[in-house]
Structure 1
Amino acid sequence: MTQLPGLLDIEAIRKDFPLLDRVVHDGKKIVYLDNAATSQKPRQVLDALNEYYEQHNANVHRGVHVLAEEATALYEGARDKVAAFINAPSRDEVIFTKNASESLNLVANMLGWADEPYRVDRETEIAITEMEHHSNIVPWQLLAQRTGAKLKWFGLTDDGRLDLSNIEEVITEKTKIVSFTLVSNIMGTVNPVEAIVRRAQDVGALVLIDASQAAPHMPLDVQALGADFVAFTGHKMCGPTGIGVLWGRQELLEDLPPFLGGGEMIETVSMHASTYAPAPHKFEAGTPPIAQAVGLGAAVDYLSAIGMDKIAAHEHAITEYAIKRLAEVPDLRIIGPTTAEDRGAAISFVLGDIHPHDVGQVLDEQGIAVRVGHHCARPVCLRYGIPATTRASFYLYSSPADVDALIDGLEHVRNFFG
């Protein structure tokens, strides 16, 4: 196996992930390179989910029997783990949602219903970027349509970076919220948080950061980011599907209105009016994703035991190697940064005039799982004049051998299409 500096003990880590032993298509062992879409789950997370359902399953917060108390302790214990993982000042700032999309929509709707000084209306502006996942575009378009607010965005440079040359025109005194991704899901670009947050603070705008492609791959410190809200999802960071997180500053969560109404988020209810529980329960109406939160807590334990700094170093080495090997493939064009500097572990590319869907299908026949399409980031494809890309994305269990398999697979694609 190719040796690279900074790699984790890949062989030991891969033993924790049962699916990576899966054999597909005439005995080929799967090469999983679709981690930006979802990660695989270690046995430790699978065992935690099974144990919860087998030994502790009950609804949370209201029951006084032993199972309800155990389930509540596990659910709230997961909140404690997430708060520590992201260095939140308070556990009460951690809201569980079903995914990052719901977290982003939650903030958009809160601001649409808020009183001054937070309300978004026809006199205000919303700022996003051209590289956002659709989950961080569509909610703001809906809010702008509903309120009359003006939606503005940062464009992209030719090399896949944010163009901040007009930052004072995009973020103005009218801007109420700036929402942007920390790491692009399609290009892997790591964005300059400090410059954007500083400008937003100068004009009094709130900042929401989509950390879905950051939380699994690098240390995430919400206090250091300087944002007002941070959203991410569990299934990309070794956790189960159906669980996401919204972190928000305590004073904002106290002032902003809830989006969903129902059980658990109330303090008192009469037929005339209701009052609301304090955060985080104010924003967690109904039965929450209990088992999923327990699974996310187990995932946080797993990642923390390895060390997020070590995971980041491993992925940087793998990404740097992948970029070097992809440069050897004739007619291949990387969409986004072509060095490993300030970029994550997702690499999108086009291969000559072969449609990405065809590339993905032939790679799949070789047992190589990649993503094809616009990756819920169609404005990026429009910006670079392409219909779609092939995306290979790496994680803590990815190896140089996986990269080599991808390169061999792309050579097979080129030969297949002549």
Structure 2
Amino acid sequence: MNRLELAAVCLLCLLVSVAALPALAAGVPPRPTAEGGLSDLSLAGPGVLETDAGIEANATSNSEAAALSGESSGAVLWQSEPFRASLSLSPQAGTSEYRICAFALANGTRSTAGCERTTILEGSVASVNVTGLTWPANASGSQRLAFELHPAGEPNETLDNRTLPVTVLTRGGDSDGDGLTNEEELKLDLDPLDADMDADGLTDGTEIDDYGTSPMSADTDGDGVRDGEEVEVGSDPTEADSDGDGLTDDTELSIGTDPTSPRSTERLAIGAAALLYAGLGTVVLRRRDDAEGNEEGTPLATSAPRATLNDAVTTDGDGDRPADPPETPDLLTDEDRVLHLLDRHGGRMKQSAIVEATDWSKAKVSRLLSSMHEDEMIEKLSLGRENVISLDREWIEASTSSTADGDDPDSDAPEAAADGAGRTRAARSDP
């Protein structure tokens, strides 16, 4: 044999070896090179729960087979319960009588499950049923089922073989360790080979026995939080709003409140209200500070005319009336509301106008203004039967002095009032 022929033979051997690798890796011996043999294997019977693609379960176990996830390879069988195998047989040249045997390869041992003899003419295909098969009672879990084809009367000569991976279950066992027996899981349409069917962090048995949740829904109450997470935080996985505070558990976890305590939401609401109140109070005080700062910064020799007493208290008549100010916020104190009204009306208002603006009783307004006057928050000036309320003490004193000296209170000429240091202070104009 020359080198070229030797290379061709080596290449052929390499190709044959590569072609056989998938079958060897799957644990299935390759078919004999001779034509004919076994094909189209299927299992059926009461002992069959699930079969892989190409394997047909009997009609009585279809509902149970539908409940399984298909994660197992090959078939799922009940231990010690009968089933049968169906195979197609093609004859090999020179042989017409055959013997087909099934073996349970369990726990490292090989035991015969059953055999069947058949005769087939050359050139035809026969369907053979191997009946009366049961899985040994001492073996469960992942096992293998093997089939061998022999010439009749020659058991040591193997013409063909097939193996199928199987998972063997006991009815009272718990193959996935979820706290439910295999039989219980099948009655509930659960998978006896999957401990947590809905992947919510709780085993199927824990969901049914301890929490009353659905092992087929990751979020039983539909609140956006998985059942397992709700158990971890202490909320109720069967109630969307565990503490009954109007917020779902998912919302409370998102904003940082406790979904198991309604008081956490109450504290959040109180805190928000306090912040709002503080913000409004700050705005009012800032406006007052700005008004006082503008008054102190007015030039002493200003030529702007000072509003007269009558101008400050006019509420009716033919003249133009200032536009009504915006409503006072409800969260202010009564004193702050009065100060707010005075500030918006240029610092001066009739007492009757305050009654009208606040919709309070005359008695309440009178008591409140007297108290504020005593606390030096405002100044009061009696004008006949009416009181004028002002934020400006010096304006009141100047107006009282000009009225006592006989000056015309309606005059538009600029006036100045002397303070205690002998300086003059320009009166401010109404807006």
- Per residue, is there more helix in 1 or in 2? 1
TM-score range, shorter chain: under 0.3
The structure number with the bigger radius of gyration is: 2
TM-score normalised by the chain length of structure 1: 0.18
Instruction: Between the two structures, name the one with larger relative contact order (CA 8 Å, sep ≥ 6).
Output: 1
TM-score normalised by the chain length of structure 2: 0.17
- Per residue, is there more strand in 1 or in 2? 2
